[in-house]
Structure formats: C-alpha cells, structure tokens
Amino acid sequence: MGDTEIVVDLDDVELSVARAYAQSWWVFLVAGIIWLLLGFVILSTRPSSISVTVILIALAFFMGGFTMFALAFVTTGGWRWMGIIGGVIAIGAGIAALVWPKPTLVVLGVLVAWYLLFRGVFDIALALSNRHVRGWWLGLIAGVVAIALGAWAIGNPERSTLLLITIIGVWTIFKGVFDLVAAFHYRDMKKALA
C-alpha cells in the first residue's frame, strides 16, 4: 500500500491531523537534534554535586516542556490541552528544581519518574489515537520506553546521582532519535500529501 493510498483513505479530521504533522516536520527535526545534544551532554557529565544534577534535570524538564508545547500546536481537541498542561507541569518542575536546589535524590528521582510516566502515557495515547498518521508506532515505542525508565527511576530512588543522570540521559537520547526518525516520516508524508 503506497503513501497515496493512505492519504486517500483518510477522512477530513484525520487528513487535517496528518497535514499538521507533515507541515511541522521540521519542529521534530530541531527537537530531535536538541534532545540528542542534551542527552550526550548529560551522559558525558559526571556530576560531583547535587547542584550540577539539578541543573541537568531542570534542562531536561524545560526541553520536555517545550516539546509538549510544540506537540500541542500540531494536535487538536483534548490532546492540545493535554500537551499544554504537560508542558506547564514540565516547565514548573524545572523551575522547582532550580528554585529548590537542595532536595534529596529521592525527591529528584520521584519528579523524574512521574514526568516520564506522564510523558509516556501521553505519547502512547497520542500514538494510538493517530494510527492513521505514518510513523505512529514511533510514539508508541517512545511512550513505552519513557514509562519503563520512569518505573526504573521510581523503583530505585535512593540510588546514586549517576543512576538518575543515566536514566535522564538515556531517555533524552532515545527521544532525540525518535524525533529525528519522526521528522523524516512526516517530511515524506508532506510529499505524499502534496
């Protein structure tokens, strides 16, 4: 089944969602590059203090918030509001981490775990509701990985700073790869829709 056949089988709402993703393919490209860079910076840094850990976690929360806002602009209905709410929560968590820089690793682990759980559920639900969009399964995989890493973080909250940084670094790199692959899928979809 070719791309043209997929486009022909879509109803008006599905076609508008597909067009929104296709038109904003470059947002996923830019986000993917930034996620990858952030992930490599996080994994290459061996923080010796809680302050460095907090800054890296805050950066990941900010980036997560910005990507949730970006998703809110390419989705419709209730998903748009979920993206906005998720973005506000992520930005709020980043600000809280910076304003309250002396929490224990347990608190940071719990914040990271809950964010990954929320983000994973959002990515899975969005992917399953947009199965007509080419590459929908990428969001499904990203959501499952986020939930698994969140479970790992919540299951080991009193482990070392290195474990927490590794969880965040692995997720940001995976998210970067997901966004890059999604960007090229959506770019190809844009050509098929033209």
Half-sphere exposure of 55 (CA within 13 A, CB side): 9
Query: What pLDDT sits at residue 188?
Result: 86
Mean pLDDT, to the nearest integer, of 101-119?
77
Mean pLDDT (the chain, rounded)? 80
Cα 181-186-188 angle, rounded to 5 deg:
100
Average pLDDT over residues 24-47: 86
- Residue 5 tokens read as 């056949």
pLDDT for res 48: 65
pLDDT band at 110 (very low <50, low <70, confident <90, very high): confident
pLDDT at res. 33: 93
Residues 6+ away with beta carbon under 8 Å from 155: none
Amino acid letter, 165:
I
pLDDT band for position 144 (50/70/90)?
very high
Q: Which residue has the higher pLDDT, 51 or 126?
A: 126
